[in-house]
A and B are shown apart, each in its own frame.
Chain A
């Protein structure tokens, strides 16, 4: 009888404890490139040859015969996502506009995005005078975005729930186009307007390059007027969109400047960054969902290359009002009008125009430009000595 008891207890213990002991700790996500060679390397999702071929498509210049336009901002993905390597950031901004009536924001005629280029001068978009809400938005880094996509929405929601009420980020859910617009936690774009890299790719292909695809089958208008670029829709059969998404999913994370990061100043600055409270929103560590997790509302399964990886984005992928909001509403509703996504600071050493609009040029001024939800944290920064401020900025310059 006693033996049977041992058996029962042993079974329960084994069932409940042993698998936990076997659960692997997350491993570090690989770097996107080696600082020495500056060569992009696959994170293992696809082999290097496939990755290089995907990159070539990401860099490919589109022309009128490919369906470029009628209005557009760039001829290739890499035109805006290139620094210091393909997939990185750039100084290029896009222009958005609309109207605020004191209660609600409404889009500019034809949509809030005002394209800067057109295939015909007759199609050129312009900001119409009475749309007084106007803002520039810098293009964003896409390196490591596959890991960001692989973060469970609940992880982001939990980050928000653990932030102090006065600084709590807003978690929004946005349509995943490839899953019949079922919603998932937004994480891409300054307004967290996308949750999947495929949706993001199709959106950017249409709105930045004017190329339609099955997920975005209709060309943009010119300030609301339908114009024809002469190429039947969809201009891409979906293959390019898939390749763009695969390329981004296959990139590693932006690597740090390891030499600078190892200096005493950067290490002291790293401590100060946490001490003053920056990491409340510029979150240092996030672990992606386990490999095999079905995400994007069933459209994607997290691969072994992306699953259970520790990343250091220095961002929470949530929307906050830090006094810098751009006044534009996209997928998050009116409460997000003056909110923007916490800028993930990984790779920010490659950026010299700061904040969402690129209007701030020094690290100190960028920090001081934070207000609203960030007020207490920034006041902690103000209390630092100049030596400490320089250490903190040295740390930022190592990211």
Chain B
């Protein structure tokens, strides 16, 4: 197991390097294929009606006139050993992992990114607990009461949850529960260390909105998996042996049906930790999703690179955790 983890971590590092190379290439090579040069790229970071001299200075400051391989080399070096940046009046050391300085904000990317992680983590964790517990529970009950009103209703709601976009359900929930009936007024992120109750209260609507989408999917997956496993011969055997029904369902039925759930949960959580873009934008939460939108809108390469690599890291780590959990869920995998 230890060797397995080490191998996966090495693969993670290699994967992140490849991701950074691809992102770098897209940012620089695609515009160049369209005929854009570094002077034109620099003109986007100067403001309105700049002089030629101003654009050239910015081109130099951002290092855009250096060869691409040199720019990439500087970037990688910053991640490993850090870099020095001149703020104008002083030189500051940017410790590793240094994702450079934002083209637009001229501040180090890493601290800006890291300050957004708690917001996204709070959103993802809370929603994950809701959708996992709710989705699996509904899926189990639906499978056990197949064909009943509960089954039809819950699967109908699940279909709605999967079909309705978050920017619709989010805005509806705000309209109803923040403005019309101010049960959750003035939704904005409050740090858990500052006020845990307010932190939770302000996240209830985003949690429920996000969980509604995922719970639907998990309910349907769980239902399908349970229907399959509960029709297996070993379930009949367990019942014939006189085991309590609860034990039959949870220990024998659900456990076997959980494998695909665990797989998809890892992917979903990893993706969300990279930024729940729509949810954060709808509720005005300053997480990695908002950071990503802003970075793309401003064509800020250091920020785009930073958030892309961080998101890739979360996905890879989540998948690693999932693979380890397989061994817990399915004893056959251990051998």
Our verdict on whether A and B bind, yes or no, reads no
Question: Chain A residues in contact with chain B, CB under 8 A?
Answer: none
* Residues of chain B having any CB pair with chain A under 8 Å: none
